[in-house]
Amino acid sequence: MLNKYARAFFTRVLSPFAALLLRRGVSPDAVTIVGTVGVTAGALIFYPLGEFFWGTVVITLFVFSDMVDGNMARQLGRSSRWGAFLDSTLDRVADAAVFGGIALWYAGRGDDLVLCAVTLFCLASGQVVSYTKARGESIGLPVNVNGLVERSERLVITLVLAGFSGFEVTFSVPHIGVLLPIALWVVAVGSAVTLGQRVVTVRREAAEVAAAEESQAAAGERETVAGDEAEEKGRTA
């Protein structure tokens, strides 16, 4: 959902920065890699310590690289399969780092195994949601569905509420730390719904393709039979 409405806005905002990087000789692949390293470092250094505000600040600074690298490739007019593969692969790494860092907090100083399990579910379900689309497309299906909570929604909900929850430690704002558990439960439920949406969509599309193939095969068989019958009648005449 956010991809549809927000990406165009941020593309316009970030285009001058992308053009500047290109003039400096920076490649889109370099931006992708640096962005992933920054997100991973911010998540795995700050989050396990409970520093959710500063961790979110660092992550946010680097997470926009996901839009900048694509913008750069379009300005160069040379989007490639390799660039798309690298971007998609490193997105999974960044997502795992964000939820992995939160899980480490709850497994350690946060001392809440239930929320640790919920966070791990968010991590795993997010990866599977992405896999279902990639796998469906790899077998020739369009997977034409906008899920309830896709990658953009997962990151925005988690990072925004994690950042605000960090006010409790960083700025001594009482009781605001509850926002992070709320975010995790919302993302967990939303990811489960999205996974269900994609599985149902792939099943429907696969059935439609199978039905179309059977119809084509039956039509071909009828044409063959008709041709054989016409040939037989010709010989008889």
Q: Which amino acid is at 140?
A: G
Nearest alpha-carbon partner for 8 in 74, 84, 97:
74
Contacts (Cβ under 8 Å, ≥6 apart) of 236: none
Catalytic residues: 91
Retrieve residue 109's tokens: 């100083």
C-alpha span between 150 and 8 (Å, rounded): 17
CA quadruple 114, 152, 150, 160: dihedral positive or negative?
A: positive
Neighbours of 135 (CB within 10 A): 14
Q: Give CA torsion, residues 194, 40, 54, 116, to 10 deg.
A: 50
C-alpha span between 54 and 39 (Å, rounded): 12
Q: Which amino acid is at 102?
A: I
Retrieve residue 34's tokens: 């640096």
Q: Give me the helices (H) in 24-138, please.
A: 28-46, 52-63, 65-76, 81-107, 113-138
